[in-house]
Amino acid sequence: MTPKEAVKFAKDHGARMVDLKFMDFPGMWQHFCIPISELDEGTFEDGVGFDGSSIRGWQAIHVSDMLVIPDPATAVMDPFTEVPTLSLICNIVDPITRERYSRDPRNIAQKAEAYLKSTGIADVAYFGPEAEFFIFDDIRYDFRENCGYYYIDSVEGQWNTGREEGPNLGYKARYKEGYFPVPPTDSLQDMRTEMVLLMEKVGIRVEAQHHEVATAGQAEIDMRFAPLTRMADNLMMYKYIIKNVARKHGKTATFMPKPLFGDNGSGMHTHQSLWKGGKNLFSGMGYAGLSDLALYYIGGVLHHAKALCALVAPTTNSYKRLVPGFEAPVNLAYSSRNRSAGIRIPMYTPKPEAKRVEVRFPDNACNGYLAFAGMLMAGLDGILNKIDPGEPLDKDIYELGPEELKDVPSVPGSLEEALNCLENDHEFLLKGDVFTQDVIDVWLWYKRKKEVDPVRLRPHPYEFVLYYDL
């Protein structure tokens, strides 16, 4: 859609307001609105000003003025506003130099796509994340100097089988058995369908929706793959729709990787492939129907996986999910069909156009623009340097003894460890000026200062169970 077409689209749909959405550094959408009278074709060139110093991880107060430049290709009608509102996703530029802002995550994603083309390897990188989430009925949490707690509840929660509910009707998914019984055990079928229909209304193609493994309303809606930046845009609209539909029904949705103890967490298995001239470059005659190029791509992702974790599993809570000995894909190996490996090659169909790799250790608490760009850069580094991924791991990982497992590397054990790995291994991200040293430095500072340190400084409630009587 061109600027002219976007303005016409707004008028044709009776828009009275324009919502300008953009991505902050850690990974949440921000927005502000202007009346439709303020939108014309020049807005897509001139932009609209805002205070960049109030956005997490961005400008200092003495250089706070910035511009949002709406992308007309992202124009849709917002599905939730009472007043008809045009929604536009924006890029960020400096008002003086008119240069794209280096810390704008969408800019980083677009630079990754440009770098891919500059290598001559491929025209497009397709990404297809499987974003899991929970839909709860109640969430309360607090932390003070003298107390700290969280409380989650769900009418689907297995822990509520004995609760007085006036009446309690049962049909609560047992732990690790939410994948995937029909209603009435699956009580969220209609809500997920409502989410899907709204996604389709704003142009997101959906392949499937279903209940996920955990009790208490874990769910998954699978989007059709799309080019890198477009998919990162889609992922943000996906989260926006899920959270707002849940709220409409008096429920709350979360993409937190591990909100429940003793049941599955939420990951974001991310399918990816490279194409050139309409041909899937990952299809070949090698292992699991992969090309040599695809195997080198896997080699790059595995080689840089520990550093990538700081971008694709970027919260302290991520490492409550990525724990050895359980179902989480902590082993940095690749395999066909084996869901315990960090990278899996799906074998659902023999069609060459469907050949792809699935990186399984990311979670959807990530900033999609940074996560997808980071994985692409690692894969390209593998291709350019012909990094051998080693032998596949097709055995049952749970049955392997310590001797066999000792040579299989695993993901970091904490966000702090992942950040240290990124600090020591990020040259591959700097190629083509995709990530800048400033972006890496600020990411490391922000995560350590705003997330790692606050968690490290506070006593954990379970420490009272372990240590109070010592």
Residue 438 DSSP one-character state? H
45 is catalytic: no
Q: String of b and e for 384-410 (b: at least 16 CB within 10 Å)?
A: eeebebbebbeeebeeeeeeeeeebeb
Helix, strand, coil distribution of the chain in percent, nearest 5? 40, 25, 40
145 is catalytic: no
> How far is residue 69's CA from residue 93's CA, in Å, rounded to a whole number?
7
Reduced to 3 states, what is the DSSP secondary structure of residue 440?
A: helix
Strand partners of residue 280: 275
CA-to-CA dists, residue 280 to 109, 122, 339, 389, 446, angstroms: 21, 9, 23, 20, 38
Q: Report the C-alpha dihedral over residues 105, 110, 111, 114, rounded to 10 degrees.
A: 170
**Cα 47 from chain centre:** 28
210 is catalytic: no
Active-site option among 78, 104, 130, 416: 130
Ramachandran region, residue 390 (left: φ > 0; alpha: ψ -120 to 50; beta: rest): left
**Cα 125 from chain centre:** 16
Active-site option among 51, 165, 353, 441: 51
Active-site option among 71, 220, 381, 416: 220
- Count other C-beta atoms under 10 Å from residue 214's C-beta: 27
Active-site option among 269, 304, 321, 344: 269
Ramachandran region, residue 103 (left: φ > 0; alpha: ψ -120 to 50; beta: rest): alpha
Angle between helix axes 368-384 and 305-312 (nearest 10 degrees) is: 160
Active-site option among 104, 137, 156, 212: 212
Active-site option among 71, 132, 156, 263: 132
Active-site option among 360, 363, 381, 451: 360
Structure tokens of 339? 């869901």
Q: How many helices (H) and strands (E) does the chain have?
A: 15, 18
130 is catalytic: yes
224 is catalytic: no
Active-site option among 113, 358, 363, 416: 358
Cite the DSSP H helix spans in 249-367. Answer: 292-303, 305-312, 318-321
Q: Any idea which residues carry the catalytic annotation?
A: 51, 130, 132, 212, 220, 269, 339, 358, 360
